[in-house]
Chain A
Amino acid sequence: MAATRAGPRAREIFTSLEYGPVPESHACALAWLDTQDRCLGHYVNGKWLKPEHRNSVPCQDPITGENLASCLQAQAEDVAAAVEAARMAFKSWSAHPGVVRAQHLTRLAKVIQKHQRLLWTLESLVTGRAVREVRDGDVQLAQQLLHYHAIQASTQEEALAGWEPMGVIGLILPPTFSFLEMMWRICPALAVGCTVVALVPPASPTPLLLAQLSGELGPFPGVLNVISGPASLVPILASQPGIQKVAFCGALEEGRALRRSLAGECAELGLALGTESLLLLTDTADIDSAVEGVVDAAWSDRGPGGLRLLIQESVWDEAMRRLQERMGRLRSGRGLDGAVDMGARGAAACDLVQRFVCEAQSQGAQVFQAGDVPSERPFCPPTLVSNLPPASPCAQVEVPWPVVVASPFRTAKEALLVANGTPRGGSASVWSERLGQALELGYGLQVGTVWINAHGLRDPSVPTGGCKESGCSWHGGPDGLYEYLRPSGTPAQLSCLSKNLNYDTFGLAVPSTLPAGPEIGPSPAPPYGLFVGGRFQAPGARSSRPIRDSSGNLHGYVAEGGAKDIRGAVEAAHQAFPGWAGQSPGARAALLWALAAALERRKSTLASRLERQGAELKAAEAEVELSARRLRAWGARVQAQGHTLQVAGLRGPVLRLREPLGVLAVVCPDEWPLLAFVSLLAPALAYGNTVVMVPSAACPLLALEVCQDMATVFPAGLANVVTGDRDHLTRCLALHQDIQAMWYFGSAQGSQFVEWASAGNLKPVWASRGCPRAWDQEAEGAGPELGLRAARTKALWLPMGD
């Protein structure tokens, strides 16, 4: 009878007023595992795939260690089968109108709604995360994601005209992840017509369950395939023929390695790396609320990683006291307990924390741990690290969950310097009750997402992503859709892999060039020198290379640029960047228009130079005119960039900003020596970047003619043009760590090198892979793709209230 059950305990609880366990039954999760006889395979083409003679890995409860099921590990042939299924499915899935895909996604959302208890108990059981967060956060957001992307799919024909789905997407997920990370990526991919093969780490049943729910819906079984296997399968999946894009989310160094190994391979690569977040607490903040922001970020099982916390010196003591007080009230325990803030994430996560804490202590940091946390493994108490010397190794590495590293700053300006002084650029929040200061910090932070006076808010319509070494792939909102689209008519990506390309020697040495005789032909003599910092300079190597015209005669000499010249050009571009990025789009447009007018004045000279390169006079004049039009068009187009999003449940706007990338390196194609140069220059400058350009190797003289006008029209350093050996300059640019993005239009080998070298600072690259481009066509020469690549998105959340 109930009374005896309650008897003795109630008296004690009455006095102590402690919290008790609120266990969530996971019977339905176990029942589902039973339907698979506790043996999980892969879900491919709408069927369970359980091949024989495969290794299996146990799926364990991270807290009790109890074996829940055994999971078969895929081998290369299973991967191939999954990709084949996705390829077959792509044919019909992408051919259907958007409304059909919308219907499918909506039905999947409804199925999730009907079986949400199974989903949240299974997820919490195997990941150890607090069930409350999974139930109230993840599962609800998963449905919202499907609904949002269903709407995008249904309007795709109008809203995304001119774009087509890429094809089969390979999705790679990290060992510690929520199924939501998968949802964020499969929803846009499926919506626009791509099909997906997801490679999930061993022992992750939830993605398999999702694939099953999707597959059982019927007509499109192969659109979502999930295979589970070790990390060694990643390159195998990535290099499967037919995979058009690999979306990788995981640890930084793995992403870097993948970037290197996928150079030149068929698949494009999108990276989302790291988990650390940042919180900026100023002295005008509501400190108690900011402390709750810290809890949301690091100690509530909402965010995946640790937190770097910057506190203004004047409120340091007060903030630390409140933080420590709050930590004492945190509760950790079994994830399936409905009243805990934090679950446990297994032994590996626990070891990582311990190593980090020990190291921080040995480097002089103070460590504070508190909270109602079970003492046994694998539970980690909420951890606050302070006084970590900024130069210590620990201060450089990524902060692991559930650690918060606090450090002081004096002024907002210093806060920006410290916050931007890491290679990571994921998300950050700013806590300040002064509007001007909050916006100044929000705009100044180099990250993908900024929340003002909030932390960790998410919505399907808001793009989420990063910059710098956090990778530049996006999910959610319009940016998430473009990840899986390419301009209509673009040929499918092919592998340009050249196995014998030696990365160590590519473009290392410059072949020496000898004088080829005096320049002949009409005056004026072409301009000579490297255009760096607003003027023509002699190259560091003090040598020149001859440029020949179409009939083989010497057309002129150009300077032979080298590594030092590139360094100087990048420095000049960096100096010019803050001023140029701070200009209004209108002011930038005015300068582009001025350059257009200057080109038109120089029309006869430019046309005659083009003529010497073999163009007919009429065509040459048309190229000059089109170049001027491009400058004007981009100037006008940037006026209307960025927009405001309205998010459910949030009062106030979310701004989708389009910010300049920084210093952009552009290696121009050989063909269209004037038009291609201008077509690339215009969007790059219009979006506020400064550029270092390598003009057409065949005829750099036209670019140098333009430089003469840029010298008078533009501020110094805005556009820098370096001539010389193409491969050598490409090498210098691609390996430069302080270039924020690179566009390469040239050989397949050069493209492969650029992709490989970009792993250094993970700059986004756009490489032509030896494919020619129709620069005179509107779509390829001035299409929206250029605009997308010339700027990066930032989502700025501005909740309002009195």
Chain B
Amino acid sequence: MSDRKEKRSKSEGGIPPGNLGQFPNENNRSIPDIAANVPLMESARDGQRGTEKYHEKSEMAAGKGWGVAYYKQDYPERDLDDDVNPNDTLVQDVSSTAVLTPLDDDLVGEVKELEDRGNWTGRFDFLMSLLGYSVGLGNCYPVEKLTQGNGAVLVCCGPGNNGGDGLVCARHLKLFGYNPTLFYPKKPNKPLFDNLTKQCQGMELPFLSEFPTDVEVIQRSYSLVVDALFGFSFQPPVRPLFAGVIDTLKKVETPICSVDVPSGWNVEEGDPNGLQPQLLISLTAPKRCAKLFKGRFHYLGGRFVPRALEQKYDLQLPPYPGTDCVVELNTGNS
């Protein structure tokens, strides 16, 4: 969709390279083209992932011959210092056939991270990080303690990738014993979202045909609201449909759980008049606006950043406990 193309290039231009959400990188490195040598899969060209740009297939994957055991070099340093024309560095997910949540618009804090992700981890990590969201939610609001409608959760999905995240999250929540209901008014016309929707339907999740405008109705019917409307790359203005949804959500007393960025917030500066979720689950690394998060629970999910990258970009990420896919961050707000 052309909207998304524009949105993304705006955010690329608008965000100084080297900003790490919460942890600014002083060097302001230009955006590296890490994935230039990464081979591309055939099926990746079929346009399933919308606005990504692809590189030519390299010979890297062409068979490791038999011989002496080898150890892969450290993650290549050489590419990261090159000055590259930003227009050439649109590295998206190069690694999967996947119909998972692409999150290409929801640049996680910055373009470089997207490229890192696109290069070596692909969509799988988003799947896991969405599992993380659901697990985090499950930790904070155990289903047996929810009072309304037998663990009923209202999952609000926006028109982009954050919305796709919501769909995956809802599916996991259903498996965990909750009863999610989806509000998904603007599904992009792409196989990815068609499939995610179908997966939710296969899990018997109902889809609301319109958003309840009555605050009381929401409060009575649902124990939680998952806010998967807009993510990192959100640029105002909000279209009227979603503006109305956000307005209503601002008034409900039901706890709101936001996926990566509270919807409508400016990713750097937040929005004091915007949604105030009780739970925020940041993907990969917290965004700058998370500093202004005033809710009770802040989790980090998306446990896949290799240590080399963490060090390279000076991401001060806490260790994940054991085999967990989420880690709780201290908000100082409870």
State whether these chains interact.
no
